[in-house]
């Protein structure tokens, strides 16, 4: 496109002043050089003046820890097929969809901060200095790879927060694969490998099961902090089940050999001859 790249020499804010809510549409093939600045949607001052972003096939690049696309207010945000190279996505509110995204967050603590109501479908988030994807509110996420981040792969929670996570590939991050804090929802059908612990759970009753958690240092659930919701510590949350031990006395070897024979081949003496 003629005129691309677009270079931010300061923060850019898209927000309503009077009249209709403005939408910034960025066409496929455009490169946005954030440098160490932010593209902001909605009023960062806290007032209720939204702004909307519709970006598809866009490359966002950054050179510092502040390089981000930041959502403050607005429903119907959309990032589709976008790349973030040295930049990240941050939402403090609002709602929207993120699909087929690639985030290399090597300059920043996080890859995606998803607070509000968000659906993330397909993509890769990697190399964040701390956590791959973090947030609270309502998050639906599927078919995303989160890898090589310094802290947790997926860190989600907060009172009233709900998560639905499926078919994630969370590998080779820091201490925890998935961290859930006083929230509800489900995490299922995921591969969680290459961490000190597969899970950190602090309060709430999220359903975690049907995940492949092989390849972690400890096949255990880590926990610390404040439990603020009714919580059940379950016997099995996606971990390999250990075989149940017989509560009775140890059997004599001869008895084990006898028990192995089929019932059809057993011969019992008459009761009155015993």
Q: pLDDT tens digits for 49-77?
A: 899 999 999 999 999 999 999 999 888 99
- Find tokens 């959309």 and name the residue: 78
**pTM score, two decimals?**
0.84
CA distance 39 to 33: 10
What is the percentage of the chain residues whose pLDDT exceeds 70?
84
CA distance 90 to 11: 14
pLDDT digits (tens, 9 = 90+) for 96-125: 999 999 999 999 999 999 999 999 999 999
pLDDT of residue 238: 54
SS3 label, residue 72: coil
SS3 label, residue 240: coil
Give the residue from 66, 116, 121 showing the smallest Cα distance to 88.
66
pLDDT digits (tens, 9 = 90+) for 121-176: 999 999 999 999 999 999 999 999 999 999 999 999 988 899 999 999 999 999 99
- Rounded to 5°, the CA angle 158-79-117 comes to 25
pLDDT of residue 273: 42
CA distance 218 to 198: 8
Mean pLDDT across the chain, nearest whole number? 86
CA distance 264 to 267: 8
How many Å separate Cα 218 from the centre of its chain? 20
Tokens, residue 102: 């690639």
Q: Which helix (H) or strand (E) holds 122?
A: strand 110-126
For residue 80, name the pLDDT band (cuts at 50, 70, 90).
very high
pLDDT digits (tens, 9 = 90+) for 225-237: 888 888 888 776 6
In contact, 77 and 55? CB cutoff 8 Å: no
């Amino acid at each position: 496109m003629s005129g691309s790249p677009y270079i931010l020499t300061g923060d850019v804010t898209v927000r309503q002043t009077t009249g209709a809510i403005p939408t910034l549409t960025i066409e496929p093939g455009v490169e946005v050089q954030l440098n160490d600045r932010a593209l902001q949607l909605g009023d960062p001052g806290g007032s209720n003046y939204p702004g909307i972003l519709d970006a598809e096939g866009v490359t966002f690049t950054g050179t510092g820890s502040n390089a981000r696309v930041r959502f403050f207010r607005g429903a119907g945000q959309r990032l589709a097929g976008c790349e973030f190279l040295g930049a990240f996505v941050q939402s403090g509110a609002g709602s929207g969809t993120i699909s087929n995204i690639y985030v290399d967050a090597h300059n920043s603590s996080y890859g995606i901060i998803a607070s509000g109501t968000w659906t993330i479908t397909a993509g890769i988030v990697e190399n964040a200095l701390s956590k791959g994807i973090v947030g609270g509110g309502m998050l639906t996420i599927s078919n995303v790879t989160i890898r090589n981040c310094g802290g947790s792969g997926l860190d989600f929670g907060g009172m009233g927060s709900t998560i639905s996570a499926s078919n994630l590939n969370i590998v080779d991050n820091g201490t925890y694969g998935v961290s859930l804090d006083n929230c509800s929802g489900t995490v299922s059908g995921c591969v969680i490998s290459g961490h000190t612990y597969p899970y950190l759970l602090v309060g709430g009753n999220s359903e975690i099961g049907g995940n492949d958690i092989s390849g972690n240092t400890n096949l255990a659930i880590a926990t610390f902090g404040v439990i603020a919701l009714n919580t059940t510590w379950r016997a099995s949350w996606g971990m390999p089940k250990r075989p149940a031990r017989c509560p009775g006395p140890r059997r004599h070897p001869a008895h084990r050999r006898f028990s192995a024979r089929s019932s059809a081949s057993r011969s019992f003496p008459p009761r009155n001859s015993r």
